Each structure stands twice: as structure tokens, then as C-alpha cells.
Amino acid sequence: MTTPICDFVRAYAEKAPMRLHMPGHKGISSLGVEALDITEVTGADVLYGARGVIRESQENASRLFGTAKTLYSTEGSSLSLRAMLYLACLYAKEQGRETCRIAAGRNAHKTLVSAAALLDFEIDWLYGESLLCCKITAETVRAYLEQCEELPTAVYLTSPDYLGNTVDLAAIAEICHANGVLLLVDNAHGAYLKFLPEDRHPITLGADASCDSAHKTLPALTGCAYLHLSERAPKLFLDEAEGAMSLFASTSPSYLLLQSLDALNARLDGDFQKDLARLCDDMKRLCANLSEHGWTLLGDEPTKLTIAPKSYGYTGEELADLLAEKNIECEFYDRDFLVAMLSTAHSSDELARLKETFLALPRRAAICGSAPIPSRAERAMSIRKAMLSPKERLPIENCLGRVFASMSVSCPPAVPVAVCGEVIDGQTIACLQYYGITQCEVVK
Ligand SMILES: Cc1ncc(COP(=O)(O)O)c(C=O)c1O
């Protein structure tokens, strides 16, 4: 597969022109990558107005992911999600709706909430078993749609979630489409799903659009992500996608990240699938060994190891400390969970080392208690109105009955414990305290 962006930038660096353009380092090395860090010079194309090397590279990515259109983001899935939600708002208008309503799993990343504040769409929350894990089923979606007086423009789901749970997107897509509702997927954690022996990517399973962080699960630099649009996405999505991305994006995309995405295409077109299949086999063995040994594992995502360690006598924090003593750093931990993200970059030997480390830990008396579940809070005002209201910061115990106004109070993986505009009740306070949050902003 061609790598036109990498080829262009390498040739440019080798030519060593006098750089009378940004960035200010002029290609002179401090970190070692500056020669390859260019801006949109002649021939380097323009992200979101692509006609040359970026277009060719994005088309390569589109072919690999089986999409109608794929656009690059050098600002993570956060950018792609905002653009995708903006497209949903435009589509709602095109359908003659006054407001755009999105039905979203309550475990959404905070980007959904900040997008609602920016774009002023309404959210109907779909609740699941806990804050981080919603496991929205096809039945949940069917029941929700059946009781709607007016159908939402889109159902928005996070799959995989932070704990490695995926939902039945194929069944949910069928229900959504039968009702004329779009299915939008936050697939930040699932770019690699396309390349499994059995393709489990949201676009393959029927989503209209998905946002994937290449950097989370594929060999790409931090910040690399995609907006994928499927063949069945509304024409408006395809026509307006570049404009939607550029509405929220920096006008200075990183060419290091663009090269990373470009080089990734060649890797994905090469041995990646074979390496991923090997990793999945190693992971199956690792998970089976840990389960047999008594560890409680969660999730169905093949490259994520999610442990609920309390049943084995450890909090997630204690377990993370013990792993850190062995020079093993995990993606995420809190009291209840520890999440390790494995990739094709890990060797079979490293997985064996991980197994030995876990099996060497003595079992202790189980720790009782689990994370409180946030309430289905009453909404006092829109997310946008609450976010733009005058605010005051109060100790959490003084917030009962007040309207939540913070954008940023999330439990660690950026899932909002409470959402702007909601009335804070006792259960929400207990939940915020559980995650160590001592103060929050409320509408004055
Ligand atoms: C579920 C989910 N969605 C979206 C994002 C944002 O992705 P990015 O960091 O690529 O902007 C994250 C980040 O952790 C996430 O966990």
C-alpha cells in the first residue's frame, strides 16, 4: 500500500530547503523528529480540503476499513466525535426537526457532553448496569424507541467501553435503521476490531458512522484518529464531513501524526492481521489461566485485560502498585477495576511474564462493596444553559438539590459522574464522593 504523506515529507526533509514557514524549529533537531515536522507547504496537501497526498492516504485508510469515506484526525477521537455529532445536528435540520435529540449510553466519554454544550442538542440517556459499563442491548434500544413520542435523530453508543465490553451493534443497527434512526458509535477503543479474524468493526456491523482512536489500539502516535462514514450514512454526512471536522479542528494539523496514520496503512495492509491473531490466541490463554486461578475478568474485547480484583482481595489501586513494582504500568485502575491494554507490540514472552506476575500474587480475603451507580437524575436545564450559567464551587456535601454546572467532573476514564444541568441528589453525591471528588460547580 502506498504511503504518500510519508514519502512527500521524507523527500522534503532530504531536500533540506530553507524553511521560511512554520513551525519555528525550522527542522533543526531537538527531539529528533523536527526534520519531519512540517506544515501545509506546497505539495503537502491540506487536511479537510485534501486533493493530493492526504487524499490518497485517506482513501487507502477508507479501503482498509471498508468505509465510504474516512477522514484523519490529528486531535484524537475527541475531534471526530464533535464532527460526527455536528453532522447529526445538520441531518436533524435537513429532516425538518427543530432540535436534534440523541439517545446515548450513559457511559459516554465527556466529549459527548461538551459537544451537547457546543451544539445544543438534547440527550436521552440509556442506562445500563454501572457508570463505566452500560451493556446497552438491542432490547433496551427497541423498548426506548417504542416509547418515544418523537424518535431521536441518532442512537450513540460507546463500544467497546473503557472496561472492554462491546454491545451487539449488528442487532442494534437493525432496530435503528428499521425506525429511520442513525447509529453513531464511539469506537475510540476499537479501531483494531476491523482486523480481527472475524471483523467486528462498527461500520461492518451496521453503524452509520464511527470515531476510532488509531492511537489507542493500533501502532500510531498519540492523537491519531479517524472519522469513518459508512456506505449507508446519509449523503449529507459524506458531503459535509470535511467541513464538520475543520469546524472544530486546529488549522495546524501535525504532519508527524499524519505520517503516523499514513505509515499505519501500510502496516495494516501487511502483517498486522497475522500479528493480531497471534495476540488474540495469547490473550485467550492468559485470560483462561487467570480465570482458572480465581481472578475475576470482565469484558469481551480480545485485547483488553479487565480485572475486578476485589474478589481476589485487592483493590485496583493495590494491584496497580504491585504491578508497578514489577515495572508493569497499566492503562487504568480505580478501587474496583484494573485495565491493561495489550497490542501487537507485546510479545508472547511479555504476556507470559504478565501471567507469572498475576499467578505469584497470593489470594486474600475478598473485599466487599462495589461502585455506587449514579442516579437517573432529573434535568433542570439544558447542558448548554447550565454550562454557560454563572457558577459557584461548593463542597460536595453542600450541593444537594443544586444544578450541576461542571464540565469536568468525571471519574478517571472521563465518564461524567453527573452531567451539566442535572439536579444533584443524594445518590449522585455518594457517587462523586466514591470517586474522591470533594467539590463541584453548581449553577449560582
Ligand atoms: C470511550 C472514549 N471515547 C473517546 C475518547 C477520546 O479519544 P481521544 O483521546 O482519541 O481524543 C476516549 C479517550 O480516552 C474514550 O475513552
- Which residue reads 426537526 in cell numbers? 97
The verdict on 265 and 278 lying in the same domain is no
Last residue of a domain, one of 235, 269, 303: 269
Ligand 1 within 6 A of 109 CB?
A: yes
Check residue 373 and give its pLDDT. 82
**CATH number of the domain bearing residue 317:** 3.90.1150.150
The verdict on 411 and 323 lying in the same domain is no
- Asked whether residue 221 is assigned to any structural domain, the reply reads yes
The verdict on 40 and 186 lying in the same domain is yes
Picking from 139, 193, 146, 196, the residue whose alpha carbon sits closest to that of residue 171 is: 139
- Asked whether residue 373 is assigned to any structural domain, the reply reads no
**Substitution candidate for ligand 1 out of 114, 166, 216 with most atoms within 8 A of CB:** 216
Check residue 329 and give its pLDDT. 98
- Which residue reads 490518497 in cell numbers? 56
**CATH number of the domain bearing residue 406:** 3.90.105.10
Could you identify the atom of ligand 1 that is nearest to the CA of residue 107? Answer: 1
* Count: domains in the chain: 3
The rounded Å distance from CA 228 to ligand 1 centre is 15
> pLDDT digit string (tens) for 165-198?
999 999 999 999 999 999 999 999 999 999 999 9
Ligand 1 within 6 A of 158 CB?
A: yes
The verdict on 391 and 332 lying in the same domain is no
- Asked whether residue 364 is assigned to any structural domain, the reply reads no
Q: How far is the C-alpha of 188 from the C-alpha of 356, rounded, in Å?
A: 30
Check residue 435 and give its pLDDT. 86
At 436, is the pLDDT very low, low, confident or very high (cuts 50, 70, 90)? confident
The verdict on 262 and 128 lying in the same domain is yes
Across 32-43, average pLDDT: 97
Ligand 1 within 6 A of 416 CB?
A: no
Check residue 43 and give its pLDDT. 97
Query: Residue 132 above 90 pLDDT?
Result: no
DSSP string, 66-89: T-SEEEEESSHHHHHHHHHHHHHH
Across 115-136, average pLDDT: 89
Range of the domain at 291: 273-359
Check residue 415 and give its pLDDT. 85
Q: How far is the C-alpha of 359 from the C-alpha of 98, rounded, in Å?
A: 58
Ligand 1 within 6 A of 111 CB?
A: yes
Across 19-38, average pLDDT: 97
The rounded Å distance from CA 107 to ligand 1 centre is 12
The verdict on 131 and 191 lying in the same domain is yes
Query: Residue 409 above 80 pLDDT?
Result: no
The verdict on 195 and 302 lying in the same domain is no
Across 254-269, average pLDDT: 98
- Asked whether residue 121 is assigned to any structural domain, the reply reads yes
Q: How far is the C-alpha of 2 from the C-alpha of 42, rounded, in Å?
A: 20
> pLDDT digit string (tens) for 80-117?
999 999 999 999 999 999 999 999 999 999 999 999 99
Check residue 59 and give its pLDDT. 98
The verdict on 265 and 341 lying in the same domain is no
Could you identify the atom of ligand 1 that is nearest to the CA of residue 81? Answer: 4
- Asked whether residue 408 is assigned to any structural domain, the reply reads yes
SS3 at position 190: coil
Across 22-30, average pLDDT: 97
Average per-residue pLDDT for the chain: 96
DSSP string, 294-345: T--EE---TTEEEE-GGGGT--HHHHHHHHHHTT---SEE-SS-EEEE--TT
Q: Which residues pair with 416 in a beta bridge?
A: 410
**Substitution candidate for ligand 1 out of 213, 260, 304 with most atoms within 8 A of CB:** 213
The distance from CA 65 to its chain's CA centroid, rounded to whole angstroms, is 17
At 403, is the pLDDT very low, low, confident or very high (cuts 50, 70, 90)? very high
The verdict on 23 and 141 lying in the same domain is yes
Crossing angle of the two packed helices 255-269 and 4-15, in degrees rounded to 10 = 130
* Whether 36 contacts 43, CB under 8 Å: no
Ligand 1 within 6 A of 77 CB?
A: yes
Query: Residue 286 above 80 pLDDT?
Result: yes
The rounded Å distance from CA 444 to ligand 1 centre is 31
Picking from 238, 352, 226, 331, the residue whose alpha carbon sits closest to that of residue 289 is: 352
| Whether this model's pTM surpasses 0.85 | yes
CB atoms within 10 A of CB 376: 11
Cα torsion 327, 332, 338, 341: sign: negative
CB atoms within 10 A of CB 300: 14
* Whether 237 contacts 106, CB under 8 Å: no
- Asked whether residue 365 is assigned to any structural domain, the reply reads no
Last residue of a domain, one of 217, 245, 269: 269
Ligand 1 within 6 A of 188 CB?
A: yes
At 298, is the pLDDT very low, low, confident or very high (cuts 50, 70, 90)? very high
Give the H or E element holding residue 430.
helix 426-434
Check residue 410 and give its pLDDT. 64
- Asked whether residue 180 is assigned to any structural domain, the reply reads yes
At 226, is the pLDDT very low, low, confident or very high (cuts 50, 70, 90)? very high
Across 37-53, average pLDDT: 97
Ligand 1 within 6 A of 162 CB?
A: yes
The verdict on 318 and 212 lying in the same domain is no
The verdict on 355 and 398 lying in the same domain is no
Which residue is closest in CA terms to ligand 1's atom 9?
76
Last residue of a domain, one of 212, 241, 269: 269
- Asked whether residue 27 is assigned to any structural domain, the reply reads yes
Pairing between strand 410-411 and 209-213? Answer: unpaired
Picking from 234, 192, 190, 246, the residue whose alpha carbon sits closest to that of residue 209 is: 234
> pLDDT digit string (tens) for 413-430?
788 888 999 999 999 999
Could you identify the atom of ligand 1 that is nearest to the CA of residue 215? Answer: 10
> pLDDT digit string (tens) for 326-381?
999 999 999 999 999 999 999 999 999 999 999 999 999 999 988 888 788 899 99
Across 46-66, average pLDDT: 98
Check residue 408 and give its pLDDT. 63
**CATH number of the domain bearing residue 235:** 3.40.640.10
Q: Name 323's Cβ contacts closer than 8 Å, sequence gap at least 6.
A: 329, 330, 338, 357
The verdict on 287 and 404 lying in the same domain is no
Identify the burial level of 349 via C-beta atoms within 10 angstroms of its C-beta, where 0-12 means exposed, 13-18 middle and 19 or more buried: exposed
Please give the grid coordinates belonging to residue 57: 492516504
Check residue 334 and give its pLDDT. 92
